[in-house]
Amino acid sequence: MGGAEGSSAREMDEVNEAFIGCVQASTAIVRYPLPGTRWRRGVQGRARLEEFFRRYLPARRAHEGDDLFSVLCHVESEDGERFSDDDVVNHMIFLMMAAHDTSTITLSTAMQYLGQHPEWQQACRDESEALGTNTPTFAQLDQLTTLDLVIKECQRLVTPVPGIVRRAVADTEILGHFIPKGTLINVGLHYTHHMPDLWPDPEHFDPGRFSPERREDRVHKYAWSPFGGGAHRCLGMYFSGAEIKTVLHHLLLRYRWHVPADYVAPMNFTSLPFPNDGQPIDLRVR
């Protein structure tokens, strides 16, 4: 990130705690900073993160570097416009989640299911070995078609962002319930991904459901939507795909791993999903 030089371990713990507070506040029902509430911790966490990044802004403005923080401080449009200090801070805080947590969730889910399904793990490994390189290009990553099926199924089973908030732009009705214009609505992406009406045997790990022959995700426009949809579909969708594929490519080439078939991750859905037990995996160098 380029903004933590000279920071103590204690401060990094504080920043991490502040960030967690911000993320968990996104699912708060009471959205007023009452003492002891999730929203209050989010507001306080946001203030702590802003203070942290603003402290490093002058140095980043003064010296160009190749880290993202510095780039955001110096990038210019064709008209010579630059990001304001507020813009830079907002981008840095957002990127803490957008470029890290969601990809981590998909990676950990893939590690679990590939560990429980060695046939899929080996099929993915065969494709990675066929590339013959540790540094695949974007075009070569596209050749990892089996891994692509696995990633999509993992994002269905454990949706990295389980729900997104949208505002009704007009009066409407959903399943007989009147929704006035302006109402905030939580769209349950994780729920949609587990609906038996849309997905045969929805709790079963079956990457083949995304294969060209089946394409079960096409039963409805939004049946599979881990990145949202429409005009606000996540801008990082393709970047995250390349990021996740690259990491799994290296893991497949270097390791084999195993997870007991009866293991069920005790997922915590307070905000973004994560396994409370740390998700143990038997990882061994090949």
- CA quadruple 23, 24, 25, 28: dihedral positive or negative? positive
Interval 98-157: pLDDT, tens: 767 889 999 999 999 999 999 999 999 999 999 999 999 999 999 999 999 999 999 999
Per-residue pLDDT of the chain (286 residues; tens, 9 = 90+): 444 555 688 999 999 999 989 988 887 888 899 999 999 999 999 999 999 999 999 999 998 888 989 999 999 999 999 999 999 999 999 888 776 788 999 999 999 999 999 999 999 999 999 999 999 999 999 999 999 999 999 999 999 999 888 899 999 999 999 999 999 888 999 999 999 999 999 999 999 999 999 999 999 999 999 999 888 888 888 889 999 999 999 999 999 999 999 999 999 988 889 899 999 999 999 9
Reported as type and span, the H/E element at residue 56 is helix 38-62
Report the predicted TM-score, pTM, of the whole model to 2 decimal places.
0.83
Residues 6 or more apart in contact with residue 281 via CB below 8 angstroms: 111, 112, 115, 257, 258, 259
Amino acid, res. 170: A
Sorted by sequence, the CB contacts under 8 Å of residue 5 that are 6+ apart come out as: none
Buried b or exposed e, range 30-42, using 16+ CB within 10 angstroms: eeeeeeebbbbbb
Domains, the chain: 1-83 (no CATH), 103-285 (1.10.630.10)
pLDDT tens, 113-125? 999 999 999 999 9
